[in-house]
């Protein structure tokens, strides 16, 4: 396990929500001067090696975060000791993460929105099958979470 915070954002295919969350966290970390490790992945292998959905790339770019370099990957057992925190985008992916969690896992696993006051237990809706405006809604959620995480880390939590 790393000495500095290492955050992993997880959705199903790693092309929509989790890359947006990674991009939001990169932006929040840069704005607050945090030295943290940030990554994203999926619980399924549907899009391994593929770039994020073009709508995710466009949404993040419009917010000042370039995620075009990201490539999809699947959650692996080593992630449970490499990262200090693993954030699931929704309840099904949280169950998927818990199902493969090894006995020696050290990462704290939770829903991403659990970190946002008043949004505990909320899922981040998957925008994949919806219009482009839904990617904006997803960004708003992941940005709120990224800001909350940055604030917590800055406060020493």
Question: Which listed residue (39, 53, 90, 126) is catalytic?
Answer: 126
CA torsion sign for 43, 18, 111, 134 is negative
**Residue 17 known to be catalytic:** yes
**Residue 16 known to be catalytic:** no
Distance, in Å, from the CA atom of 51 to the CA atom of 57, rounded to the nearest integer, reads: 9
Question: Which listed residue (11, 16, 39, 90) is catalytic?
Answer: 11
| SS3 (DSSP) at 146 | helix
Neighbours of 108 (CB within 10 A): 10
Contact 43, 93 (CB under 8 A): yes
Q: Note the residue count of the chain.
A: 157
Neighbours of 19 (CB within 10 A): 31
**Residue 104 known to be catalytic:** no
Residue ranges in the chain assigned as alpha helix (H): 17-32, 54-62, 79-82, 91-100, 132-154
Question: Which listed residue (16, 17, 26, 53) is catalytic?
Answer: 17
Active site residues: 11, 17, 126
């Amino acid at each position: 396990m790393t000495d500095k915070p290492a955050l992993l954002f997880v959705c199903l295919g790693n092309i929509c929500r989790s890359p947006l969350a990674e991009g939001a966290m990169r932006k929040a970390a840069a704005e607050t001067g945090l030295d943290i490790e940030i990554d994203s992945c999926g619980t399924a292998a549907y899009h391994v090696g593929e770039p994020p959905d073009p709508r995710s790339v466009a949404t993040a770019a419009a917010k000042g975060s370039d995620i075009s370099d990201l490539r999809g990957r699947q959650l692996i057992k080593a992630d449970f000791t490499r990262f200090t925190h693993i954030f699931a985008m929704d309840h099904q992916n949280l169950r998927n993460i818990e199902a493969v969690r090894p006995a020696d896992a050290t990462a704290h696993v939770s829903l991403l929105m659990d970190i946002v006051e008043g949004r505990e237990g909320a899922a981040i809706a998957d925008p994949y099958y919806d219009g482009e405006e839904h990617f904006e809604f997803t960004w708003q959620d992941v940005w709120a979470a990224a800001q909350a995480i940055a604030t917590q880390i800055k406060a020493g939590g």
